[in-house]
Structure 1
Amino acid sequence: MSPLPDASVAAGFAERRAALARYGILDTLPEQDFDDAVALAAQLCAAPTALVSLVTEDRQWFKARLGFSAPETGLDRSVCSHTLGLRDVLIIPDLAADDRTRTNPLVTGAPGMRFYAGAPLITPENVAIGALCVLDVVPRPEGLSPAQKAGLAALARSVMTKFELRRAALSRRAEIAALAESELRLRLAVEATGIGTFDYDLTANTLRWDGRTRALFGVGPDVPVSYEGSFLPRIHPEDRARTDAAVRAALDPDGPGRFDCEYRTIASDGTVLHRVAARGALVAEEGRALRFVGTVRDVTAQRAALGALAATEERLRLATRATNDAIWDWDLVADHVMWNEALEVAYGWTPETVEPTGRWWLDRIHPDDRARIEADIRSVIDGTGHDWRHEYRFRRRDGTYAEVFDRGSMVRDARGEPLRMIGAMLDLTERNRVSGQLRAVFEGANVGIVQIDPRTLVALEVNAKLCTIWGAEESDIVGHSVAKWTPLEDTDERDRLHRRLAAGEIMRETLEKRYRRKDGRLIWGRVNLVSQVNGDALLTTAMIEDITEEKRVETRQRALIELGDRLRDASDAAEVSGIAAAILGRTLGLSRAGYSAIEPATGRFRIERDWTDGASSLAGSHPLDLVPATMARLRQGEILVIADVAADPALAPDATSYAGLLTRAQIKVPLLRRSELVGLLFAHAAEPRTWEPGEIGFVREVADRVWATLSRLQAEEQQRVLNRELSHRLKNTLTMAQAIASQTLRNVTDVGSVKEALVARLVALGKAHDILLSGEGEGAGLEAVLAGALAIHDDGEPDRIRLSGPAIEVGPKAALSLSLMIHELATNAAKYGAFSVPGGRVGLEWTIETGPEGRAGPDALVRMVWTESGGPPVAVPSRKGFGSRLIERGLSGAVGGETRTDYAPDGVVCRITAPLGGLLEKE
């Protein structure tokens, strides 16, 4: 058996019994306010059970309960009794481990309670009568959070406030009953003995007051009284002259002989004692005034009550005229109902059409609602309840029905018998219509919506879209704190926001934050948070849009910008591959990423650089050497996208070769030159995963930029080699020219013959130099010259370079100039134009424009057009370097041609015009 409370607590049973009796709460029916309190306590503390428990000498009885079937238990099962000697929240983390409760049947048997937290219910007289508690079937070593503990204590105080309101209501009803009885006795007393008398002997000029009159004037029983010395001085100065005049008029034998006046009596210090109503009559005999006799009665309370009643009636009249509610007052004894003007304004029923009975009202309720409403209100009237409320449909004068919310309060006599019910009927039709529209918008919205209690962050209502975004059921969200969906690393920001909401701040903000779905996956949400006041309540609504993919796209775009910036400064293939591998791995969260190149000597892959997450580097070798099936697909130019290596039937022959390589999901992008596999960009994930289209596109974009950069570096390297070779040959040529000139000018005797000899030797040297540059004879085919200048940019992609035009044999000088010009154009295209991206194209076409005689003679013109397409947008260069000047002037200096370059946005266009004769010139 669970130990009972200690002796000091048991000693308080008498006070507790008296306190409970004053509240009149034991064994009463459930009430919504207390049910709401336990529901909120359970929600606040995330507990399945909550109780409002009242402890007597031999039992604990539950005014409200949630998650507990029995309405009461014996004290041997009571945990709340242990709170009676406390003033703070009692928390028992494990009931089975606490000496006070370990043997309690509720712990050792069903339902197996293990955790308890209870806030004592303490009356204003400092008497503990029970507790508001929460229980759980699992222990909680951490107990309650400070916020939960404070909230539970606050709820307990709220429960006591409801008890006090009930106590006040009971007291008020008792006072009303006592006042009614007192008023009855007072009326009888006034009629019987409560009226004072006076007798003024006009002949002897003596005044006599009985005890009641003396009391009203504040004069002792033995003090002599007189009209001039006692009566007039004891009347309030503001009433004195009027009262004296009324008396003297009554004493006039020719007058009516009657006195009826009200005045205020005062004490000797001027303090007002009473308001008195006096009546008197003159006793005369044979036209001679003898006596003036009469009565006085205290009307102080009556006049005050009448004044208060008049003020109350005026306030009620103004209130009923100002409200849109149809206010009704139902005299249940007489079955008479009075309505205010709103019945006509809101529902069209004019006073002459209304039968003032309860049946008239019931007959205007919709037939489908009538029986339910009548049964409900009758149960309140015939029972012990004091409040009634309901929603139903009420017929207007025009036959349509209004949706109304009706509520009433009972007035009972001292025995609890029903006397009257006063209430108000509010038209909800328009509100419900708007509410229905808002509900449709709420449920059909394409963004997640959640309504939140700003104090506790508990979700009050959600729509289906939010459940989809968080991957949870409605029951997983409603009734629980939305804080559970925030990842731990973001709790500081969430707590700052909560403090602002809890402080009652009016907010309208848009923010981006992360959420952890029910399946554990992190997502990004764009949150429009609105906190506003509605009446006395602060309402908070969050509208949440899933922007995870948007964030991923932004991340990839930033990564591509970073990649472009860093690749522009890269100086070799190893650095290019290292940059690409790091950006791929970091952006996609991979276990491994990298770039591999083919070793020309062995034909095997060589990893230039890889990026690993907790794995050893594979630089220097590559597992693809062991997987022939995968290699065959790559050599065909296929991009491999593999969700799970082990589950891919096409990779079954190679599956064992991947063991231990931290690679289950893969993307592999082959790099081809002239249909030959020369490199590979790879991205590996350690666990199986489905690759999203955006991720695949991101890897392909990285591969394209890596390939363009490698091509540019190769082109630049070839250019550097050519420049070094040209420099070497030029130095040799100048040396030879110097030697020829020196030999020619030695021992000069005839200047004319020496000049011819020197020119002839230098021309011969120039022809030899041309032959050395071209590797051919004194001339070359135009297509061969152009193809040779573009050869380094041909990666084997179909239609990458297109040459078209008639066969023309150009001379060495034109061949050298054209070769240098086309080389410069191609270099620029590799850096900035069509050759810098996959899919870029360059077309070079030439035609022969015949001369005046209609044949292709020496005076004909050759027109060549260099056209780029498929490259990035073109911008006009801000300055011209040597290369640009070489393009514009190189041919004109050699053969007299013209060159014009247009930087069109969709691709550079260079137009070259040269005389055919100049191109054909051999010398």
Structure 2
Amino acid sequence: MPQSQAARRAGALRELAVLDTLEEQAFDDIVFIASRTCDTPIALISLLDHNRQWFKARVGLDVGETEIAQSVCQIDIDEADMLVIPDLTCDPRTAKNPLVTGERAFRFYAGAPLVLRSGVVVGRLCVIDTVPRPEGLTPEQLTLLRALGRQVSDQLDLRRAGQISARLLELQSALIEISECIRASEEAVEMTSAAAAVVGRVLQVERASFGLVDPDVEIVDVEADWTAPGVASIAGRHRFADYGALRADLVAGEPLVIEDVATDHRTSANTAAMYALDIGALVNMPVLERGRTVAIFIVNAARPRTWTPDELLFLRSVADRLEAGVARLRAEQQQSILNGEINHRLKNMLAMVQAIASQTLRAVSEREPVESFERRLVALSAAHDVLLQKSWKDADLRTVAEAVVETVGFGERVTLDGPSVPLGARAALSFSLVIHELMTNACKYGSLCMEGGHVELTWIIEGSGPTASLIVRWRERGGPPVVAPSRKGFGSKLIRLGLTGTGGTELRYKPGGFEADLRASVEHLAQA
């Protein structure tokens, strides 16, 4: 049998997922009717795999499969026509077949082709007798055998339709799993290895891997790959030219799809190299960057295989997701380097401002305002650190609060509690300065200036959607008696400006401890 046709047949049987399945009444009924119609002791539905013929249904035979070399059904199978051999001992194609010369002593054979709607012939519905039939079957028997063969084909196609729906669902679920792996990965190798494992499992192949391609698309560096048990890894550097004419498709940014390395013109002259790696069929799906192939997702099967359009679309989607995931990691790494440089320069600038202020204000006799100014610079630096960790995107309120409390100290005497709340860059800076002023006042005049004093910093969200509001509550307990200040300095003004510089602050100087409520729109905080 030509290898390309065998590969198509094997691919169709794989899609049907019918091999090695349990008995089914619909198929059993057909072989029973075929045996009775043609008056033969044996009737079989024979499906032709790579190295065996497997019987989906059988009457009069006690084995479920034979070697493909012993199959009479494979003779002229791709002609998709009725095969009738009146005396198997007289036909040179079957005279030495062990099923003819051995105990079973098959003599007469007639088989109708099983042709799927795709045009692929996957086997035959056959009837066998142990005595020759020089006259063969009657015209009526031939007609009925053909009709029964069509019934088998229809049953297989119905099965295929159900399998395709299930297969699409399986591939979609695998894509979701791969997307989750990509989202959770912090390293490119971790990302590609996780994706390869899912692809290998779902496509039931021998190997799946990811490789980086040089600018000339001549060399691929394969990273840690996934392999089936007993299959060797191909991790390392490989030259495309050592395996055939593989470059042209990849240079053009097109998938390299080979169903049989022995018959495909691009690899037929290099089969030894392919077989040495247990490769009988392959797909190299390019990962593109600005239209140029920079990597490939590799899938290898040990035997010839028909890659279905759904499988190729699945691999294309995997490659696209990996391309986006690797690009994200690369952008994050570049942003991290840039943030480090910005952070370094910002700290230098704040240190320079602090040094200039110290020199300029050296002659000022009252040191308290100078020290307050320096502490506010430290609070700003802490808030900038948090924002830089988030690439100047949303910083979490708790993270900013923890950073400010840490710079002032007394962290073990400050309780933080509340949900996750994203703060925009400006809101994060405003919040950090407000909390710093409240911490400073608590250390100088409030609960933190006395042993056993405590601060509770909590926050809640009221409402939902665009009207949702954040309420931050500051409660001091265990400090000295509270007295409202006689004058309002810059620190008090800063607190009253609130979380976004627009007010929304309520201060209460209760005998049991100072309290403050700060209110702002959640939507405004995230956008500020």
TM-score by structure 2 length? 0.42
| Larger CA Rg, structure 1 vs 2 | 1
With CA pairs under 8 Å and 6+ residues apart, which has the higher RCO, 1 or 2?
Answer: 2
Structure with the higher fraction of residues in strand conformation: 1
